[in-house]
Amino acid sequence: MTFENLLIERDEATAVVTINRPKVLNALNSQTLDELRRAILELKQDATVRVVILTGAGDKSFVAGADINELSVQTPTGGREHALAGQHVLDLIENMGKPVIAAINGYALGGGCELAMACTLRLAADTARLGQPEIALGLIPGYAGTQRLPRLVGTGKAMELILTGTPITADEAYRIGLVNRVVPAAALMTEARALAAQLAKNAPIAMRYIINAVNKGVEIPFAEACQYEATLFGLVASTDDMREGTSAFLAKRKPEFKGT
């Protein structure tokens, strides 16, 4: 995989994807978004990758939003296409079937906050700032921020964040449930890699079904979602990993999951 604006590094079963446009605080232009789309599709297919970490280059910014140079000249139809393309990439991340950890190393604003919200888990450096400042540009969020933010933090907080556009600290983001953990900035990648290594030991098919059950379940009626969960539960019973996990427990040894 060769990319102009992404760095991809492997650490055993973890792939670290770094958005690499530090001169513009890793703003997402169309090319970067498309590179991200291609990278996610390739990492999804690669069975040796069990967990992905997504972060931004440098120590100042995760992603400072969509590239405002492109937004400033967009047309109505182009804007719609751009929003749909971004939503598509974020959907791919959300439904990749492998945990994607956002390591939020600084500003996660606008499209950057939306990107972090599409990830499965979010770790934030204590120096990070998160928000949806589109309103200050006369815009609204366009990468599904109006939808994922209320699902994560509730309608009231989402309205406040999107209508004021004022970014919040990592601690406040943790308090309202926008990030899972806050860690000292210097320890962010170590913590993210440790979490990734922990998850990488899990049964991949079970993780895929958990992500699928949670993501799909919040969109459909509860009773239907429970039926769906039961079907996936039945399906995992057909895996070698289920047999390995249960027999390892009974034999008092550590399981070794193969993803089959």
Binding residues for ligand CO8 (CB under 6 A): 24-25, 27, 64-69, 71, 79, 82-83, 86, 107, 109-111, 133-134, 137, 139, 141-143
Q: Is 12 a catalytic residue?
A: no
Q: In what order do the strands lie in the sheet with 14-19?
A: 6-11, 14-19, 51-56, 100-104, 121-125, 181-183
CB of 66 to ligand CO8, least distance (A): 4
Q: Of 134, 160, 224, 229, which one is the catalytic site residue?
A: 134
Q: Write the CB contacts of 118 (distance below 8 Å, at least 6 apart in sequence).
A: 90, 91, 93, 94, 100, 143, 144, 148
- Residue 131's CB is within 10 A of a number of other CB atoms, namely 23
With respect to ligand CO8, which residue has the nearer C-beta, 142 or 245? 142
Shortest spacing between CB 14 and ligand CO8, in angstroms: 27
Report the residue number, 5 or 239, with the smaller CB distance to ligand CO8: 5
Please identify, using beta-carbon distances, which residue of 110 and 245 lies nearer to ligand CO8: 110
Query: In angstroms, how far apart are the furthest CA atoms of the chain?
Result: 64
70 noted as active-site residue: no
DSSP secondary structure code for residue 253 in this structure: S
Q: Active-site residue among 4, 114, 172, 224?
A: 114
- Residues 134, 129: Cα–Cα separation, whole Å: 15
Query: Catalytic residue numbers?
Result: 114, 134
